[in-house]
Each structure stands twice: as structure tokens, then as C-alpha cells.
Amino acid sequence: MDLHVAQGCPQCGAPVDLAESDQILSCSYCGSCNVLQAQGPFRYVLPHAGEEAGEGVLFAPYLRFKGTIFLVSDQGIEHRVIDTTQVATPMPGLPPSLGLRPQAMGLHRLAPEGLHRYLPQSIRANAILEKAASVGELDAMLKQGYYHRAYIGESLSYIYLPITIEASQLRDAINGRQVGDMTQLADFMVKGKSYKASWAVKFKASTCPHCGDMMEGAGNSRVLLCESCESAWALGAEGFKRIDWYQQAGGKQARLYLPFWKITAHIPVLSIYSFADFIVRTNQPMLPRPRWRERAMSFWIPAMKLRPKIFLQAGRQVTLGQWLLRPEKGRPMPNRFPVTLPASEALQAVKVMLATCTASDKNIYPHLPQVRLTETMMHLVYLPCSDRGHDWVQPDTSMTIPKNILKFGRSM
């Protein structure tokens, strides 16, 4: 489910509707485009009318995660989409989850206000995610043991539930339900802490750091492209970071260019340095060509949010077919699909992609806990795709993505 945030344009104040993980704010009133920057996850609050309470409002943090958990075990590779909002403080009496309220009510960005206090987040994010993932088959796999687990996140944020304090009664400020009694919570630190300046979101004009021209992007883009000087910039907590980008020549048939993170790395524990090493270690049903010994091994991770199955399949097809690609610098094409999966999440996916690519589970799976990447380099590469009815097809590698999935992934 998508959560919406009411946000004023920092230039003209007009209301703009953002999705919870959007980092780009394009205002249709004044035409300005701004990038949102924060140290750590975004923080939101459920809209409330508790301001009049004399003692201020206490805010209880909930961890919001939307993304996929991947699990590699003897049973193969499992995945599940997780969409959850779980309490992140151990204070007794709080509802364990915010349920549908964030979706029904929309969110406001957390801002410093008067006497309000904030309960610290003291339950670790990993523990919360594990609990959210522990259902059905995945639960059995988590308990029986696995070789590798990865969370590929799409949104990770905090949502605060406002709680009013009146005459020692703690009440959910939205539905009025009692959540606790100060006298019974004496052992628990219910005072909370004050707002931290580092939580604030900063707005930064989306001008190209190289040439000063304005850059534009979809709200959920993680990379901005400058049309004037042809540079590409990843959005990070510290500002824009220049990234090297390439593209595979497409010709007239190319209707769409899909972005991939090309992660070139060594895996010493598996003695994988070249593409030939990879072909041999993963027991592919083909003989490595002599030239593949000179070709550094790269993992190709889709730089777009896709359903887990398609994500793995597309990455596998390009990773195995990388020897057919010759990406180069070139004139940027107008029809480039936005990068919606940041480089950091793509790195999280490398081990899962290695497991997906192998033709022999036993050669690779048991080593996954020891796998470390060294000499890592990341580039962004756009691959041309042809329009084949219901599918987008990358002609060099035969990678295929159903059109309806790509649309789904974009708004997922």
C-alpha cells in the first residue's frame, strides 16, 4: 500500500501530494523542483488534534517498512513482500501495529512543536523486520536455518502515534483509547526526549552541481539526470553524488532504456575474479571462452523496483549475458526509465543474485555467509529494450520484462 504525505512546496507553499518515500518534490504551481534530504529515515506523524493538551503530546515511534525479504536456504530462494508498521518502543499498552490508519489518514512530516516529547526507538529494526517476516513458510525457513537473508527496502521510515497525557491517563490521541496509566508505568521511562535537529528534512534545489541547470525527476527517482551536461547524480544524505553512467547502443528498435546497476567485484572466498571464474564456480552449462578470463565479473542488478520474481529473473538474464554487452558513453536517450532502486539497495541484492545465477546450489549456497565483495565498483548502465507486444525485451541478452509488471513496479 502507498502512504501519502501532505507537504507544502518549500518555494510557494502550495500543497503537494507526495508518497512516503519520495525524495523529489516537483511543484506544479510554481514549477520548482526540490530534493528532500534527511539524515536517516524520514519521520512522520499521524495527523492529530492533541495540541491543546497542556502537558504536550507524547509520540510513540513505529517502524514502517515496505520491501522484500529474500531467504536462501536448502529449499532454494524464497521471497516475500513485507508491508508493515510495527511498534518500535517497548512501552506496555501501545497497539502493536498502526494497522490501516497511516493509509486512511495520510501522514504529516514530523516537525518540532512546543512541549511535545518523543519516546526513543529502542527495538532494533532487524528484530521488527524478522517478526514481520515470520509467517507461513518463511517462518519455518527462518527457524530451520538459512544461508543468507536480505531485506531490499523500498521504504523505511518512522511513523509516530500521538498520545495525550491528562490526569495521569495516557490516551491514543486519535481514537481516544486509553493506552496506559502513568502510575502503573512508573518503571517505564514515559517522559520521552525532545525533538532532534538531525531529524529535520532539508530541501535543496535540484540544480546540477556541474553546470547549474535544473534537473527534474519523478518523485520516487533515486538518480537525477542533467540533460544539459549529461551527468547523473545519486541522491544521498550528504547531497548529490556523481555517478558514472553508460549505455548499450540500441538502434531504431529501442523504445525504452532500462537502468541497471553494474556491480563489478571480486569474491575471494569463492575465487571469483573474472567472468570465467564465475561461469566455472557456478557450474554453468557452457565453457568459458578464453577472453572471459580477462573480463572482470559484474553483477547486474535492476535499478528499478520490480516484483521479486521478475527482479531476480531480469538480473540473472543480464548477469549471465553480460559478455554480449558493450556499454559505452554516448548521447543520452530521452526514453530512459527512472532509477527507483538506489545503489545501496542494489548492493544488498548481490548475494541473492549470485544464488539466483548458480546452476549448482551446493557450490554456492553454503559459502554465502562468508561471501564478501572486494574491489567493488558501481556504474549505472542503460540497456535498450524493444517493444514486443506484452513484453519489453533486451535484444542482446534476451532479458524480458512484462510491460504490466514494469508499470506496477514503478508505482509499487
Chain positions contacting Zn ion, by CB under 5 A: 9, 11-12, 14, 27, 29-30, 208, 210-211, 213, 226, 228-229
CB of residue 248 to Zn ion, shortest distance in Å: 23
Backbone torsion region of residue 139, taken as left when φ is above 0, otherwise alpha when ψ lies between -120 and 50, otherwise beta = alpha
Residues near 371 by Cβ (< 8 Å), separated by ≥ 6?
267, 269, 270, 351, 354
What cell does 362 get? 551446493
CA-angle at 306, arms to 305 and 309, nearest 5° = 145
Nearer to Zn ion, 9 or 325 (CB): 9
d(CA 373, CA 391) in angstroms, rounded, equals 33
| Distance of closest approach, residue 107 Cβ to Zn ion, in angstroms | 20
Q: Judged by CB, which is closer to Zn ion: 247, or 356?
A: 247
- In 3D, which of 342, 332, 336 has the Cα closest to residue 235? 342
Provide φ and ψ at 277, rounded to 5°.
-55, -45
Amino acid at 394: Q
Which of 195, 203 has the CB closer to Zn ion?
203
β-strand partners of 207: 214
Closer to Zn ion by CB, 3 or 208: give it: 208
Residue 29 or 359: the one with the smaller Cβ distance to Zn ion is 29
Output the smallest distance, CB 13 to Zn ion, in A.
Answer: 7
- Pick the closer one to Zn ion by CB: 30 or 49: 30
CA 380 to chain centre: 16
Q: How far is the CB of 12 from Zn ion (least distance, A)?
A: 3
- Select 9 or 267, whichever has its Cβ closest to Zn ion: 9
Instruction: Write down the least CB distance from residue 126 to Zn ion, Å.
Output: 39
Q: How far is the CB of 32 from Zn ion (least distance, A)?
A: 5
Per-residue HEC secondary structure of 136-160 comes to HHHHHHHHHCCCEEEEEEEEEEEEE
- Cα of 270 vs its chain's centroid, Å: 28
Phi-psi region of 403 (alpha: psi -120 to 50; beta: other; left: phi over 0): alpha
Handedness of CA 56, 51, 9, 99 (dihedral sign): positive
Question: If you search the block for the grid coordinates 501501545, which residue do you land on?
Answer: 94
* Shortest Cβ 245–Zn ion spacing (Å): 13
- Which are the contacts of 372, defined by CB distance < 8 A and separation ≥ 6? 267, 268, 269
Contact in structure between 24 and 214 (CB atoms under 8 Å): no
Q: What is the closest distance, in whole angstroms, from the C-beta atom of residue 242 to Zn ion in the complex? A: 10
User: Toward Zn ion, which CB reaches closer, 108 or 210?
Assistant: 210
Residue whose CB is less far from Zn ion, 9 or 107 = 9
| Residue 14 C-beta: closest distance to Zn ion, Å | 5
